[in-house]
Amino acid sequence: MNDREPGRLRSLDVCSGAGGLALGLERAGFDPVLLVDDRDVACETLRSNRPGWSVHEGDLLAFDPSEHTRTYDVDLLSAGLPRVKATATVNRKDSEAEVRLLQATIWLLHGVQPRALLIENVPHLVRRADYEPLRDYIAEELAHLGYRHRWFVVNAADFGVPQIRLQGILVAFKGDALDAFVEPSPTVKEHRTVGEALGRSMATRGWADAERWARQADEPARTIVGGSWDRGGGDLGPRGTKTAWERMGVYGGSIADAVPDRSFVWDPGLGREGLVRLTTEQTAILQGFPEDWAFAGRKTARYRQIGHASPPPVGQALGAAIAAALRA
């Protein structure tokens, strides 16, 4: 953006999805000069919510910074990458697509030369031994380019998101700016519960039991997952996660078109027919999106975008910490 406010910073955001990370970074003072994603529906979401953002629809593996020179020397390269699987290693010929995208993000540093790097992914990427080849590869590449880095894990619930969502974070800074970086501290003393987050929306069609349901939904949500883009409809996750939702009176096997109306009888003893189902709008609330953030596409495509997104409040906290280090 050429008309950004004085004092704001510039970013390049890749694998942008529905814009959760970019939105959080915007709140922290970063204006994206370009956002890159390969899904048309995600690009439509970005453009509809932020008409002023420049969005490039295309494969990150084919992205050439020399064709987008506005990306040169940005303050931050940010990436909310698809979840890297534990079985994939950087040295395997059949490495998963997610690993190739991680490599491509690191390779972008050569051409873009940002002052800082932020990558968000699974916590196992930070902690588990079977990811060590990837961590070693990244460390070697970053050191070669003059970047110092740090790995850590955050829980979205610590930043006001009503969801237990552990996120693996990599930050890197050119030169010595890492010395000034302080990992973001929790912004809430108590985790928000599902009932606190969704009680009001559950009552919008006159459902009499909305308040009673909200009182017993007294814990944060389990991690919202988007599922595969290639198969199936929307659901709230694997069997253990669905069981946890059932304890809160929610059926996790599908996504609703609308919240319960006056006629709905909430009775978990009846099985799935007596449980409430969440809407895509409600899952977006559980991800920390503002209620006016609109998602393009049909119901399943909307849910996929939401589940794969990075919660904006976490992006804001990370962005504020990075901005402070860059300005130190």
pLDDT tens for 82-124 read 988 765 555 554 458 899 999 999 999 999 999 999 999 999 9
Residue 133 CA: distances (Å) to CA of 90, 94, 304: 7, 15, 29
In the chain, what are the domain boundaries?
Answer: 9-188+310-327, 194-306
Residue 15 has pLDDT above 90, yes or no: yes
Average pLDDT over residues 170-174: 98
By the 8 A CB rule, do 326 and 174 touch? no
By the 8 A CB rule, do 280 and 198 touch? no
Cα-trace Rg, the chain: 20
Mean pLDDT rounded to a whole number for the chain: 94
What share of the chain has pLDDT > 70, as a percent?
A: 96
What confidence score (pLDDT) does residue 113 get?
Answer: 97
Residue 205 has pLDDT above 90, yes or no: yes
Fold for domain 9-188+310-327? Rossmann fold (3.40.50)
By CB neighbour count within 10 A (0-12 exposed, 13-18 middle, 19+ buried), where does 68 fall? middle
Place of tokens 């985790």: 191
Name the region of 113 (left: φ>0; alpha: ψ -120 to 50; beta: rest). Answer: left
**One-letter amino acid for residue 113 of the chain:** Q
What confidence score (pLDDT) does residue 260 get?
Answer: 97
Residue 259 has pLDDT above 50, yes or no: yes
The reported pTM is 0.94
| CA gap 320, 29 in Å, rounded | 8
The length of the chain, given as a count of residues: 328
**Helix, strand, coil shares, percent, the chain, to 5:** 40, 15, 40
| CA gap 34, 47 in Å, rounded | 12
